Structure 1
Amino acid sequence: MRKFLVLLDDSHECLNAMRFAAMRAANTGGGVVILSVIPANDIQHGFGVADVMRAEAQERIEAHFEVFAKWMRSRQKVEPELRIREGDPAEELIAQISEDEEIGIVVLGLNSDKAAANPVLSRLLREAGPLSCPITVVPGDLSKERLEAIT
């Protein structure tokens, strides 16, 4: 099965990337892997604080994931997989691709605001050599109707 890998974050454009991945997976018999990365610098170390911060971050991620997962299950009939990693988002995305041979396409959202560049996308485009699959870039301001038409 071909899987679409989407990076879950708090950005607006993430929503369209999720929608696109789910619709393409539903239309092609594929799957969706949702990756969320806890930045290592968000975890303060010492006296058990890191464990508490990590657990809180995972709870937030799982709640955010469930919103998308519920929509994917009910509307697209796709059961997404959640992967949570810790570190640099671009490095962890590349690592996830190399560890899961079924990932066929990376789907990332693109912010229409030029001042708010996507650092993961920028880095992947600079260092695309180690990627073993294509990247699909989904504009964050595409309408639901347009997304449905192109998927």
Structure 2
Amino acid sequence: MSETAAARKSEAKRRSKFLVIVDDTEEVRVAVRYATRRARNLRCGVVMLRVIEPVDFQQWAGVAEIMREEAHDAAEALLQKLAEQVNQESGIMPELMIREGMAREEILKLIEEEPDIRMLVLAAAPNAEAPGPLVTAFAQMAGTLKFPITLIPGHLSDEQIDRLT
């Protein structure tokens, strides 16, 4: 491989990003750690997305706006907390995104808008009958996406995740 081709390949890898969907579940910690460790090892980036689903209070517009602002503040605080952990553990500063809408649709929009996203990392709910709504939805769509989905068991310890990466 020529020096120029190697440089292009290295630059493409550096621009590649792992997408993690941040929610209020316990297993999100597992998805974030896995994505961060893989990104560090592959010299890629991490995008953490929090989707705020709409609240239906049409007759109480003021209440709906307050709830929306509170949800946005909570999302920002959670993303900042996770980003700090990611940076301390790996030296990576993840991109943080907050979107409003239905989770599945907003994730698909982001995937279309961000060509550098190369993998979606999700953690399955441990000890549950179903792995979670996003895992179920994206597993059904896996054949139509332009990159792989990595599904991590949500009960893994930090040590188990580190051995996988």
Sequence identity percentage: 38
Counterpart AA for 1:44: F
Question: Runs in 1 of length 4+ with deviation above 4 angstroms?
Answer: none
What residue in structure 1 maps to residue 68 of structure 2?
Answer: 54
Count of residue pairs brought into register by the alignment: 150
How do 1:134-149 residues align onto structure 2 when only pairs under 5 Å count? 134-149=148-163
Q: Contact 2:56–2:64 (CA<8 Å) still a contact in 1?
A: yes
Other structure's SS at 2:142 match: coil
Distance in 1 (CA, whole Å) between partners of 2:79 and 2:155 is 21
Per-residue displacement from partner, 1:40-88 (whole Å, max 9, x unpaired)? 2x35334333332221111101111111111111110011111111122
Structure 1 portions without partners, runs of 5+:
none
Structure 1 counterpart of 2:39, from 25, 30, 46: 25
Contact 2:142 2:149 in 1 (8 A): no
Q: Does 1:133 align with 2:140?
A: no
Question: Relative to total residues, which structure has the larger helix share, 1 or 2?
Answer: 2
Q: 2:57 aligns with which of 27, 44, 54?
A: 44
Aligned-partner Cα distance in 1 for 2:56–2:91: 35
What is the aligned partner in structure 1 of residue 114 from structure 2?
100
Moved more, 125-134 or 86-95: 125-134
| TM-score computed with the length of structure 2 as normaliser | 0.84
Is the contact made by 1:94 and 1:131 (CA closer than 8 Å) also made in structure 2?
no
Cα offset for 1:128?
Answer: 2.8
Tell me the SS of whatever aligns to 1:54: helix
Larger radius of gyration: 2
Higher RCO by CA contacts (8 Å cutoff, separation 6 or greater)? 1
CA contact (8 A) 1:97 1:131 kept: no
Q: What does the per-residue CA deviation read over 1:65-119, in whole Å, with 9 as the maximum and x for residues that have no partner?
A: 1111111111100111111111221121111111100100000011122335310
Residue by residue over 1:19-38, the C-alpha shift from the partner in whole angstroms, topping out at 9 and shown as x without a partner, is 00111111111111111111
Q: CA deviation at 1:8?
A: 0.4
TM-score (norm 1): 0.92
Contact 2:142 2:148 in 1 (8 A): no
Whether the 8 Å contact between 1:44 and 1:53 is mirrored in structure 2 is no
